[in-house]
Amino acid sequence: MQYYSLNNQSPIVSFSQATIQGQAPDKGLYFPSAIPQLPAGFIDSLKTLSKEEIGFTVMKPYVGGEIPDAILQQIVAETINFDFPLVQVDEQISTLELFHGPTLAFKDVGARFMSRCLGYFSRNNNAKVTVLVATSGDTGGAVANGFLGVEGVEVVILYPSGKVSPVQEMQLTRLGQNIHALEINGTFDDCQAMVKNAFVDDEFTSKVNLTSANSINVARWLPQQLYYFYAYQQWQQQEAPVVCVPSGNFGNICAGILAHVSGLPVKQFIAACNANDVVPSYLKTGVYQSKDAIATISNAMDVGNPSNFVRIMQLFSNSYPQLLEKLTAYSISDAITSLTIREVYKEFNYMLDPHGAVAYYALHNYLQSHESSKGFFLETAHPVKFPDVVEKETGIKLAIPEQVQYLIQQPKQSILMEAKYEDLKEWLINKG
């Protein structure tokens, strides 16, 4: 498998090169040269296969033989060694719970897969690799956990000061070792812009061996397909599901659409957005216009310029009419998000986090006019990561899960920084 830049101004590369580089030299995102089609009979036999067999079959074509089968099988097994339960909420709606991994968020899958691939590709490299990543909350924690203690790899995480939850911040700032947290006085978009500037600074990248662990990196993005297959493995209906995904940077839903293009049955995709409505507005008007990010209670989706949407357009051959046939999008306010958490807990005894609440409401809204359909939404993070709003709306005091209890006693380690690329560049050079 080869990968090309969607800006079409950089050389074609292998999976290992795309993983190590993160972003193409022309600032474009890497994209597979061909979309693999699932083997004949694979979907029909899905319920009889193990999670490991599914994961290996899906990921092998993308790796392109650069990792031996036995090692890839081990990487997949370590990536998905926790549960992905599909839980019924009401008559029409189920939820795929993606918070049973070590950092209580869906991004554990991509971060664990990428860290192990990068470790394999760097095994004979004496030069230290710096993983540079921006986070709006959960990416950083998953990346930090996935790379903690990996030899030859330093992880630098930029996060917006005061705009992540207490548990999220603990996961970013209390691990130590090879994990460095930079607390940026700005928004997630500021953090992401600083990271992108670093990757296109030729003078800087000649001195520091950089790679990205955001969903722009193919090794982070591609394995997110897997839990859509695990959901379908548990799907009990004859008709294909409507799938609703909380969407910020659009890497997650893009992976689901990729799985569908490869052969996974999905009736319709719904992008559930908060007040950051760039994509819902685009689907209404046909005009794509990035905006400044708006802070909301579903903070991981506070993105005003979603990086992965260009990949979604590529999956639809950059055809707006084709996109409209398969993708619906909603923008949900904080008020409705809070109300949804309260009402779903009261009526169905199911506790949503703010991102899941956005997705539940969007899916419920869609199904109101498609009553014969059923679907599921992705519950992407544990409610404990958002205690203020969840506890207020449910009246329940949330206990800290076992996976993160050990962090409570650890001291916070972060470096305050203004949202200026030159400050980041100076710090990275001096650190090295």
Mean pLDDT throughout 87-113? 94
The fold for domain 83-105+221-394 equals Rossmann fold (3.40.50)
Q: How confident is the model at residue 401 (pLDDT cuts 50, 70, 90)?
A: confident
- pLDDT the model gives residue 27: 85
Q: List the one residue out of 22, 68, 16 whose CA is nearest residue 209.
A: 22
SS3 assignment, position 21? helix
Check whether 153 has a pLDDT greater than 90: no
SS (H, E, C) 201-213: CHHHHCCCCEEEC
- pLDDT the model gives residue 407: 82
- pLDDT the model gives residue 404: 77
- pLDDT the model gives residue 353: 96
Check whether 427 has a pLDDT greater than 90: yes
Check whether 341 has a pLDDT greater than 70: yes
Q: What confidence tens digit (pLDDT) does each residue in 20-49 have?
A: 888 888 889 999 999 999 999 999 999 999
Q: Which residue has the higher pLDDT, 362 or 144?
A: 362
Cα 87 from Cα 97, distance rounded (Å): 7
Q: What sign results for the dihedral spanned by CA atoms 108, 110, 114, 117?
A: positive
Cα 106 from Cα 166, distance rounded (Å): 18
Cα 385 from Cα 399, distance rounded (Å): 11
Check whether 332 has a pLDDT greater than 90: yes
User: What residue segments make up the domains of the chain, in order of their start?
Assistant: 83-105+221-394
Q: What confidence tens digit (pLDDT) does each residue in 215-232 have?
A: 789 999 999 999 999 999
In this structure, of 82-96, 124-138, 213-227, the range with the lowest mean pLDDT score is: 124-138
Longest dimension (CA), the chain: 60
Check whether 141 has a pLDDT greater than 90: no
Summary mean pLDDT of the chain: 92
- pLDDT the model gives residue 432: 54
Model's pTM, two decimal places? 0.89
Mean pLDDT throughout 128-138? 84
CA 388 centroid distance within chain: 23
Cα 314 from Cα 323, distance rounded (Å): 10
Q: List the one residue out of 115, 94, 120, 95 whose CA is nearest residue 103.
A: 115
> Which positions are catalytic?
107
Q: How confident is the model at residue 429 (pLDDT cuts 50, 70, 90)?
A: confident
Cα 166 from Cα 159, distance rounded (Å): 13
